[in-house]
Amino acid sequence: MSDSMNYSKKLTSLRPKPTNKPTRSLLTETESDRGRIIQSAAIRRLQQKTQVYPLETNAAVRSRLTHSLEVQQTGRFLAQTILTKFANSHQLAAVGLAGNETVFTNIVEMSCLMHDVGNPPFGHFGEAAISNWIKTKAETCHHLAVGTPSKLFTDTLLPDLVVFEGNAQGLRVIHQLQNLNLTHSQLAALMKYTRPPYQSKPAKTAKDYYRKKKPGYYYSEAQLVKDIQSSLGIDEGCRFPLVYIMEAADDISYCIADLEDAVDKGILSYRDLKYYLQSVWSEYAGSGNHYLTNIINQASSQSQQEPHRFIVKLRTRLVSDLVEYAADRYLLQHQAVFDGSLDEPLIDGDSHQHLALKTLKTIAIRHVFTSKEKETPELKGYSALNGLLDLYQPLLELDTQSFTDIVFEDQEQHFLEQRLFHRLSPKQTSAYKRAVSHLADSAYSPQEQKDLEWYHRARLIIDYISGMTDHFVLEEFQNLSAI
């Protein structure tokens, strides 16, 4: 075991903002993080956000909150399995985890609970709606408000805005909007991807393609990320090691859950599900690999008189197998995991376990995600999201002075824009005020200052719309458009 792999370098009580509280143990600090996270509005809001089926009224079908709770439990199971394997091989002390087992587990659990807090209403369809609107409208609105852009805006701020990504938004929600001031370790455990939108996506052949295939943070959080990397010894483009555990827990949880929900909604029958499992598995694994076939047959034989128990048996066995495999891989690839340079998930592409996950994902894509039960509410949500963004567009067309007069002086000469601004969340407007408060004293040119103000203004509108629940999007759109 390399001396360089010491988790005491990765587990810290350091927070972005200094605290006046007396020095406390690392365990106490992670328990404090747990309390801040569980009691935050961002977590509560997940109960009315889509997992797969928008505007779902059946309480048995998963919301983002119930999905996140399942990921939290799977993450806890996986973290404890990894710790047990370290203990059994007498490595706990060598890697700096002896006495910090609960700290390790706490950070994993809370990153799992938070992993979807940045997802907008209507899920990935909502991401596309917001991205498309910004791509279409941003340059025109900016020109009306600010005029000819600086190079900073053209090269960095605009590319940053036109890609809405739930993972990047999650870091922004937790740090800027909820202002939770979590430890650097807890924030680092949330960041799956390691580039901002204004950096190019690498080629698929690049050694860091997997870690950079999506944006992981925005320009507005770039300095925070640099501070975290510095304090935790994370090289540029690399991950925090516990992110791999959170990612595996999410993969394990949602692949099985999506199919269980499809059965509960009557989109798939148990007979359909078993048939698709067998046929897609054969398609990927060939006739000589019986790993998933044996699990399916065992689950079937144990639930002949109660078909609804089939998926319970299937889930129990798969979760157990996948957690065991992911834990083994964590230890096998520990140097690359610890360094954050492993450029693939723990459940990798060469394993039976990965083929099993791929089988579940493929069935969902082919037979669940294209169902009318999913697509019709998404189309309704797309229309409402675009309509709301159009309604708030006047705020993005005001010149800098007029907008700041509304924000800081509540002046009434722009009566429509003033009323729109009043509807925004205080937490979101506070984040905007903090972001622009020191621009006038900065080293930026006057044009760059205007561009940065407009960037944070656009973020304010995106924060507001993306933070809505599915039902509130429809309700707010109907209220403001008098439908």
Residues labelled as active-site residues: 67, 115-116, 250, 419
Q: From CA 101, how far away is CA 27, in angstroms rounded?
A: 9
Q: From CA 144, how far away is CA 2, in angstroms rounded?
A: 58
- Phi and psi for 124 in degrees, rounded to 5? -65, -25
Exposed e or buried b per residue across 183-218, where buried means at least 16 C-beta atoms within 10 angstroms of its C-beta: bbbbbbbbbbbbbbbbeeebeeeeeeebbbbbbbbb
Q: Which residues contact 446 (CB under 8 A, 6 or more apart)?
A: none
Q: From CA 478, how far away is CA 56, in angstroms rounded?
A: 19
Q: Of 60, 21, 65, which is closest to residue 40 (Cα–Cα)?
A: 65
- Enumerate the β-bridge partners of residue 50: 63
- Dihedral angle over CA of 341, 344, 347, 349, nearest 10: -140
Q: Which residues contact 7 (CB under 8 A, 6 or more apart)?
A: 95, 96, 97, 100, 104, 241
Instruction: Tally the C-alpha atoms within 13 A of residue 262's C-alpha that lie toward its C-beta.
Output: 29
Q: List the structure tokens of 347.
A: 């459940």
Q: What is the length of the chain?
A: 483
